[in-house]
């Protein structure tokens, strides 16, 4: 901390000037930001998750009432277990993103990360009349921190959902070559106006009333930590494509 006493010549007033410098290094500050963005996203998704849990709960209650009334069928138990499993999956996804930031890089299946994120964001999309199309890509693996890359996927798919006011489809397409694995998130939103494209990823740049404008900045930071990068382009017909490129080390 730097601390100085100053006196104004004309009025004889005394001022104290202090500059407080945050000594934490860039990486530590970055980690705090990633974690806090993660918690903010978890909060935003909680409503969708609660909504999604209500249906299986209603169905469970119905089956229990039937059993109570003496209507007993073996298949009821199977349906009830399925409903409980649905609730388990979505709540554990929400808890997973609420956990503290990790930095454990392993070889991870891109397919299973995309599927986990769809479990979490599917309800949000469904409520807006949006269908998430994903064909699967079982073989592609990347060396990454699973939780961080899921945060990237959540941020990009959440942006796609938020951009699509009229409903429609979001396509997630993966492809791979010898040198890289790509994930494309293709939306049918209004696209990104040319004049703001260079601002994407700047801290606090948002065009949304309730946006924080941190999603793409955090996304870029996480990708940098993985030597990966993001490309944005306009689709021919409608919307934009956000492409994540993960180079495969030689
Ligand atoms: N798929 C998209 N289609 C159209 N515009 C987009 C898309 N993704 C991002 N944008 C634009 O980029 C801006 C910045 O996105 P970013 O994710 O960084 O912040 P945000 O979504 O506004 O807020 P937050 O992610 O913190 O909730 C958005 O406000 C929006 O204008
Ligand atoms: Mg966003």
**Tell me: the pLDDT tens digits for 170-182?**
999 999 998 999 9
**Distance between CA atoms of residues 247 and 82, nearest Å:** 39
Pocket residue to mutate for ligand 1, from 162, 171, 193, 214, most atoms within 8 A of Cβ: 162
Whether the pLDDT of residue 9 is over 80: the answer is: no
Q: Is 152 in the pocket of ligand 1 (CB under 6 A)?
A: no
Q: Is 36 in the pocket of ligand 1 (CB under 6 A)?
A: no
**Candidate from 24-28, 94-98, 212-216, 237-241 with smallest mean pLDDT:** 24-28
In this predicted model, what pLDDT tens digit does every residue of 133-160 receive, in sequence order? 999 887 889 999 999 999 999 999 999 9
**Cα separations (Å) of 78 from 84, 115, 183?**
10, 23, 36
For domain 28-247, give the fold.
Heat Shock Protein 90 (3.30.565)
In angstroms, how far is CA 209 from the centroid of its own chain?
Answer: 19
- Mean pLDDT, residues 65-87: 93
In this predicted model, what pLDDT tens digit does every residue of 211-230 receive, in sequence order? 889 999 999 999 999 999 99
Q: Which atom of ligand 1 is nearest to the CA of 187?
A: 1
pLDDT band (50, 70, 90) for residue 236: very high
Q: Is 200 in the pocket of ligand 1 (CB under 6 A)?
A: yes
Whether the pLDDT of residue 10 is over 80: the answer is: no
Give the E-state strand segments of 75-177 in sequence order.
105-109, 130-134, 141-145, 168-176
Q: Is 219 in the pocket of ligand 1 (CB under 6 A)?
A: no
**Cα separations (Å) of 122 from 7, 43, 158, 192?**
62, 16, 10, 23
pLDDT of residue 2: 62
pLDDT of residue 23: 65
Ligand that comes closest to the CA of residue 201: 1
CA torsion through residues 51, 189, 191, 181, sign: positive
Q: Is 163 in the pocket of ligand 1 (CB under 6 A)?
A: yes
Domain ranges across the chain? 28-247
């Amino acid at each position: 901390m730097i601390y100085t006493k100053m006196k104004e010549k004309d009025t004889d007033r005394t001022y104290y000037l202090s500059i407080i410098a945050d000594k934490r290094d860039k990486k530590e500050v970055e980690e705090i930001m990633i974690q806090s963005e993660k918690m903010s996203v978890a909060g935003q998704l909680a409503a969708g998750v609660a909504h999604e849990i209500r249906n299986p709960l209603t169905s469970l209650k119905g089956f229990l009432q039937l059993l109570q009334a003496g209507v007993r069928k073996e298949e009821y138990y199977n349906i009830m277990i399925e409903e409980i499993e649905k609730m388990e999956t979505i709540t554990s996804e929400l808890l997973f993103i609420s956990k503290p930031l990790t930095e454990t890089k392993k070889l991870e299946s891109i397919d299973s990360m995309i599927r986990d994120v769809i479990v979490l964001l599917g309800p949000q999309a469904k409520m807006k009349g949006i269908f998430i199309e994903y064909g699967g890509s079982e073989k592609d693996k990347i060396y990454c921190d699973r939780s961080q890359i899921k945060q990237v996927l959540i941020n990009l798919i959440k942006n796609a959902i938020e951009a699509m006011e009229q409903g429609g489809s979001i396509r997630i397409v993966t492809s791979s070559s010898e040198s890289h694995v790509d994930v494309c998130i293709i939306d049918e939103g209004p696209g990104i106006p040319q004049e703001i494209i260079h601002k994407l990823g700047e801290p606090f740049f948002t065009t949304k009333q309730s946006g924080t404008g941190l999603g793409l900045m955090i996304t870029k930071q996480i990708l940098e930590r993985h030597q990966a990068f993001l490309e944005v382009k306009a689709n021919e017909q409608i919307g934009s494509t956000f492409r994540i490129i993960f180079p495969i080390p030689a």
